[in-house]
Structure 1
């Protein structure tokens, strides 16, 4: 599995890198940001200790320009998370490059529950790694790191997956035909956009992934850990109970792009998808926008 990952380079029209191959770890949290912002800060420190020193060097400043992540920048971001008036109720994006997608990104979107402007808001936090990090350190290391992050965060849903790594969903700036071809060939490839999804998914699930984190109320709606055990009788699957009535479901030893030109979708992915289907996020409405219709189909790719 170590050499089973396609190399992805999505270029925008002017040539800058809009997305690349890597791993994303995402969590969705239905709580008031002030209640869990310290946990986000601790999880960020865990992430920073795991990646090369100085990798995250830039962030969008309050005026919209890219600013270097120096001591003043860190002080400002810490205040945004932990101190009034924000107390975590804002977005924070840390990037490897000021001008294109790198392999390492941190994205946090603190949402006010019940925000009348958004459809069904929930806070989210994500951490990314280039594929080279996975190859160098191995899947068990990344699984352990994802578990450390998950223990810090009071998630209701989360996952880790092979992915198109691209901050703010900027992969859409690349050749969309190439992106569509990649997603059609590799159902194990995630094309995440937490800025968009955290405004609408509420406590719904997304598609199963290599690592799938289930918290409340979702785990209870699925029937609890016993229902998972009954549905996932596969040698590749492991279930790890976590505190707070949560569980980590691991579907394979390594993240799998699932190249449909060489193999079928593994049955454990389909089994978990069927169990999660009633609680899967889908855009609703009689006249969906094209991207909403495509997202609905893509989230159902394992069914």
Structure 2
């Protein structure tokens, strides 16, 4: 299987790898405990090949976690097609003297769950897990919700996702390279939307958001250190363009966040700019 639906929980951090190593390791332990008895037994090497974690694998991961500059760690529960559970961390070196743009790139960490986990454990537990993962992360922004999980770089898979994403606007299409351009902007609207400084302050804080977001089921919850999470309803919704109206709470939040939203075309041209524009503005136009 090269493509399936899943639940993605992602955070963007304006910190270098060496400053957040302990935070990332802690969240990984939290995640592994939450998904047991499933386990992340496979790791990806520098060539993109997966191997069962053994003594050599543990040494590889130790080296990555404690690198003084960059780190890339990709763990999965199996390698037969798309894994059900996953952990992907890209730690950046924002003080890199050889890169004039180094201070703008973000470190990112993403956790993957299968939709079967959501169905069996319930959205309340998934939301609690996302909050637990966020608690020890100094994030700039983040999100959680339904997403396409697959080998999106393959031509046939890419074409299928481009068709399905317009039918189901509540499904995210992951973009691992967004962190190179995102900065303090927000990457779209999702079921759970984590906001940190400076965007939350510029929006007027939690009280101002509560005044502007009136859709039934939308909640705005303050978090520590000037952060907050906006949750759009009791459970994630893929949406369906054949139904009308299409995800009103998502559209309401998109209008509020529009001045701070990230649009790919602003920073890097797409091979199909019009299709990308339609996708990124699906809750605005």
Alignment TM-score, normalising by the size of structure 2: 0.90
CA contact (8 A) 2:2 2:157 kept: no
- Residue aligning to 2:223: 242
Name 1:177's counterpart in structure 2.
159
- Cα distance 1:137–1:87, how it changes in 2: closer, same or farther (>3 A)? farther
Q: 2:76 aligns with which of 76, 81, 95?
A: 95
**What runs of 5+ residues in structure 1 fail to find an aligned partner?**
1-16
Unaligned ranges ≥5, structure 2? none
Structure 2 counterpart of 1:60: 44
- Aligned pair in 2 of structure 1 residues 228, 285: CA closer, same or farther (>3 Å)? closer
Alpha-carbon displacement from aligned partner over 1:276-299 (angstroms, at most 9, x marks no partner)? 111111235698231565444322
- Is the Cα–Cα contact under 8 Å of residues 283 and 293 in structure 1 kept in the other structure? no
Q: Distance in 1 between matches of 2:220 and 2:46?
A: 42
Contact map agreement 1:214 1:246 (CA 8 A) in 2 = yes
Q: C-alpha deviations, 1:189-216, integer Å up to 9, x for none?
A: 011122x112221121011111100011
Distance 1:162 1:122 in 2: 22
Q: State how 1:178-193 maps to structure 2 within 5 Å.
A: 178-193=160-175
Cα distance per residue 1:4-37 (max 9 Å; x no partner): xxxxxxxxxxxxx222111000000001221111
What is the alpha-carbon root mean square deviation over aligned residues? 2.2
Instruction: Tell me the distance in 2 between the aligned counterparts of 1:236 and 1:40.
Output: 31
Q: Matches of 1:285 and 1:234 in 2, distance apart?
A: 30
Match status 1:29 vs 2:10: no
Q: Is the 8 A contact 1:258 1:264 kept in 2?
A: no
Q: Is the 8 A contact 2:10 2:143 kept in 1?
A: yes
Question: What residue number does 1:131 align with?
Answer: 115
**Conservation of the 8 A alpha-carbon contact between 1:29 and 1:154:** yes
Contact map agreement 2:265 2:277 (CA 8 A) in 1: no
Q: How many residues are matched?
A: 280
Q: How far has the Cα of 1:184 moved from its partner?
A: 0.8
